[in-house]
Amino acid sequence: MIAEASVPLSASLQGEAEDAIREITRFDAEVSAVLTHRGDGDGLSDIELAPLASVLLRTESASSSEIEGITAGARALALAAIEEKSGVNAQLVTANVAAMQKALAMSDEISIRSVLAAHESLLTGHPYADPGRLRTEAIWIGGAALSPHAAEFVPPHHSRLPELMDDLVLFAQRVDLPVLVQVAIAHAQFETIHPFNGGNGRTGRALVHAMLRRAEVTRRLTIPVSAGLLTDTPAYFDALSEYRAGRIVPIIDQFVTASFRAVANGQKLVSELDVVCRSWSARLASRQGSAARLLLPHLLNQPAVNVKFIVAVLGVTATAAQRAVAQLEAAEILSPLNANRRNRVWLAGEVLDALDGFAERVRRRR
């Protein structure tokens, strides 16, 4: 039980955790300021923060899923978002985006109810996981399927889940701890409780972002902390095991390191997308306010589009949407995915390249 537990820390570790939080807060503020108030005369002042915030949310969701072995490339995720043919993994990552969104939307209320809502968003349609409900049976990690004998870890008995989750929520609501320290411990405790039949890791990482938002460390963005953890997953899993043995320093170290990695990778991705946007603005001949130009910010978040999507997001006619696509093709901003005359899809290759580059960086083991 950790609701009222003391958390002894060395001065150096506490300082590192506070430095990491400052980096996250600074990144959130800088990106918000730059993309919301550009006005620099290069034709990009209409590129709002919302699409880029969605980009970071999706990259975080993809990284969190990849920690669990669920991998999907940027193109597959973009196609899944417009309900084009995509694999099961892309659909699972898309569901993880919804779970993250639900957790962030309910960040003012860190409660069992909000955790259950995030889990339900994550695994709706997957009855094995009993979405939105605490498990009612024993589970274990590793070993054989029929018995917990030789399992790597056996979480608490399901009869204890209500009291353990209540205790976790009380800990998450404390205001006397350094934020990143509190987040790391809450996450490790959640993974130790393992309250669900499936989806514990992804739901537990969604809780991380709800806590960061509640503490106002982040206001607009989702910092890709899972991407930082993904860079060295063995160390992350080892740190969770250390926590279960009563040693809290390793998991805090992992979150400190992951946060610095997350900011560095996030800054690089934002910079690359900014270069893409400037290039688009220079190449696109259409006037300000045209459908083609209004579509540009949406391509950051959704680099695979069809006419139906364009009509929905811009509120224009199908004819205007087709005209916008033609202009964007002429400027080499969009290229057709297929040669079909009906149900055609176009891709923003430069955005997909930037997103795949981000994914490749975070996979490099250190």
The structural domains of the chain, with segments of one domain joined by +, span 11-269, 286-354
Q: At 347, which helix (H) or strand (E)?
A: strand 346-347
Query: Chain centroid to CA 131: how far?
Result: 20
Span 143-196, pLDDT tens digits: 887 888 888 899 999 999 999 999 999 999 999 999 999 999 999 999 999 999
Structure tokens at 260: 């610095």
Contact residues for 310 (Cβ-Cβ < 8 A; gap 6+) = 291, 295, 316, 321, 324, 325
Structure tokens at 336: 């057709």
Q: Which residue has the tokens 């040669």?
A: 339
Span 107-130, pLDDT tens digits: 888 999 999 999 999 999 899 999
Give the per-residue pLDDT at 43: 38
Give the per-residue pLDDT at 84: 73
CA-nearest of 108, 74, 301, 92 to 203 is: 92
Measure the CA–CA gap between 194 and 202, rounded to whole angstroms: 11
Give the per-residue pLDDT at 238: 96
Measure the CA–CA gap between 93 and 59, rounded to whole angstroms: 10
What's the rounded mean pLDDT across residues 19-46? 68
Yes or no: say if 165 and 3 are a contact pair by the CB < 8 Å rule. Answer: no
DSSP state of 198: S
Q: What percentage of the chain's residues is helix, strand, coil (to nearest 5)?
A: 65, 0, 35
Edge-first strand order for the sheet with 335-336 is 304-305, 346-347, 335-336
Measure the CA–CA gap between 65 and 75, rounded to whole angstroms: 16
Give the per-residue pLDDT at 82: 85
Measure the CA–CA gap between 150 and 272, rounded to whole angstroms: 47
| Mean predicted lDDT score pLDDT of the chain | 88
The SS3 call for residue 335 is strand
CATH topology (fold) of 286-354: Arc Repressor Mutant, subunit A (1.10.10)
Cβ–Cβ contacts within 10 Å for residue 173, how many? Answer: 15
Tell me if domain 11-269 and domain 286-354 are identical in fold.
no
Give the per-residue pLDDT at 198: 93
Bridge partners (DSSP) of residue 336 are 346
- At the top level of CATH, the class of 11-269 is mainly alpha
What's the rounded mean pLDDT across residues 348-355? 94
Span 275-312, pLDDT tens digits: 898 899 888 987 778 999 999 989 988 999 999 999 99
- For residue 259, pLDDT over 50 is answered with yes
Yes or no: say if 199 and 119 are a contact pair by the CB < 8 Å rule. Answer: yes
Structure tokens at 364: 């490099």
Yes or no: say if 179 and 223 are a contact pair by the CB < 8 Å rule. Answer: no
